[in-house]
Every structure is written in C-alpha cells, then in structure tokens.
Amino acid sequence: MADSSGDALPVKRVVLGATGSVASIKVPALARSIIQQGRERGLRIEIAVAASASALHFFRREQLPEADVTLYTDKDEWSQWKTIGDPVLHIELRKWADVCVVAPLDANTMAKVANGFCDNLLTCVLRAWDMAKPRLVCPAMNPMMWEHPITATQTAALEALGFVVVSPISKTLACGDVGMGAMAEPEVIAKVVVAQLAAK
C-alpha cells in the first residue's frame, strides 16, 4: 500500500475496484482525477487499485500515476499469504481504506456483489467491507445489458446494501451501440468520491 509519509496534507485512502468493462481504459484517468480533486480540497489521496483479471485487459500498471497509486491483482492476494499469521490482502485493504469505489462495475461483478459472492480480490474486499465506511459503484455495460430487468433488481439490491450507485450515461459505446450504459465520466465519479472523503 502507498506510503503516506512526507506530506503535510491529511491523507485519505481509496480502494478503486476495476472490472472487465471496456470502461476500465479510464481507470488511470480516474485515479489521476481523484488525486487532483483531492488536492484541490486539501487532501492527499492514496489509491489501491484492485483489478479483476478481466480488467487487466484494458489498462497497464505503467499507465497509473506513479505516486500514491498501487495496483493489486488476484495474484497478489495469494502471493502475499503463505501461512497462518500472514496478512490477508483483502482484509488489509478493507482496514486501510476510507472509501471503496468500483469503477467500472461490470454486469458480472454487479451480479456477484448484489448476491454476496466473493471469488476474487475485489469481491472479497467488498464482502468484508466495514459497513460504516462509504462504498460506491459505477456501472458500465452494453445498453441491452443495462435494460435487462435483472439490472434493476441488482441495482436495487446494491442500494439496499448501502452502495451509492453513480448512474451510467447515454452515448455511443465502444461496441457501436447507442444508449444508456456507458460509465459516468471520470471527473464526475472523482467528485463524488472526494465529496464522500471530505464529508468524513
């Protein structure tokens, strides 16, 4: 996890979950925007990106800001644990963070989180989450997926679990289809995340 020494600003910590939506190409821009908007509000923000295996198809570690951002994958969860007494990464991240934002939240992880499944690093962080801490999700999917009735059911389930759902927007998606389902813009998501942190 990032080192917070050597900066006078108060430090806040974000777990940024990334899943297998093409909108994960915006994860580096989102991380930069959260850090910048935090600075504008007098906060130093450290970010732990928890990426699913599918998310890693859409961005590279080198694209993330070097300072204050660490990338964790499912491999880290298991490489850091060898025997009883070793730290368990998803528990450490849950303790470390002040807020969790999943951006993008794809349909698969939406279904898993809404139903309590936890089969990778990110979903384990969310399943172990301290319910006193804020949590946000930013869905991103094809318009037909978004309009499927199961989406409304699962979105309502997430809201009932205390997740703030940052609604997707309507535009031409990467697949060429037009309609609701694109992830909200990184600057908009960053503003909601930083507002949660500044309010604490």
Ligand X SMILES: Cc1cc2nc3c(=O)[nH]c(=O)nc-3n(C[C@H](O)[C@H](O)[C@H](O)COP(=O)(O)O)c2cc1C
Alpha carbons 37 and 43: distance in angstroms, whole number: 8
Give whichever of 54 and 70 is closer to ligand X, judged by the CB atom: 54
When the beta carbons of 19 and 155 are compared against ligand X, the nearer one is 19
* Least CB distance to ligand X at residue 54 (A): 4
Nearer to ligand X, 38 or 104 (CB): 104
Q: Which residue is nearest to ligand X (CB)?
A: 20
By CB under 6 A, tell whether 145 contacts ligand X. yes
73 binds ligand X per the rule CB under 6 A: no
Cβ proximity to ligand X, 109 vs 155, nearer residue: 109
Task: Pick from 4, 36, 54, 63 the residue near ligand X by CB under 6 A.
Answer: 54
Contacts of 77 (CB under 8 A, 6+ apart): 88, 89, 90, 120, 121, 124
Does 25 interact with ligand X (rule: CB under 6 A)? no
Residues between 101 and 120 that touch ligand X (CB under 6 A): 106-109
Distance of closest approach, residue 3 Cβ to ligand X, in angstroms: 28
Rg (CA), the chain: 16
CB of 67 to ligand X, least distance (A): 26
The full 3-state SS of the chain, as one line of letters, equals CCCCCCCCCCEEEEEEEECCCHHHHHHHHHHHHHHHHHHHCCCEEEEEEEECCCHHHCCCHHHCCCCCEEEECHHHHHHCCCCCCCCCHHHHHHHHCCEEEEEEECHHHHHHHHHCCCCCHHHHHHHCCCCCCCEEEEECCCHHHHHCHHHHHHHHHHHHCCCEECCCEEEECCCCCEEEEECCCHHHHHHHHHHHHHHC
Catalytically annotated residues:
175
Which one of 21-29, 41-49, 86-94, 185-193 is the stretch in contact with ligand X (CB under 6 A)? 21-29
Is 137 one of the binding residues for ligand X (CB under 6 A)? no
Q: How far is the CB of 181 from ligand X (least distance, A)?
A: 7
Q: What are the residues binding ligand X (CB under 6 A)?
A: 19-23, 52, 54-55, 106-109, 140-141, 145
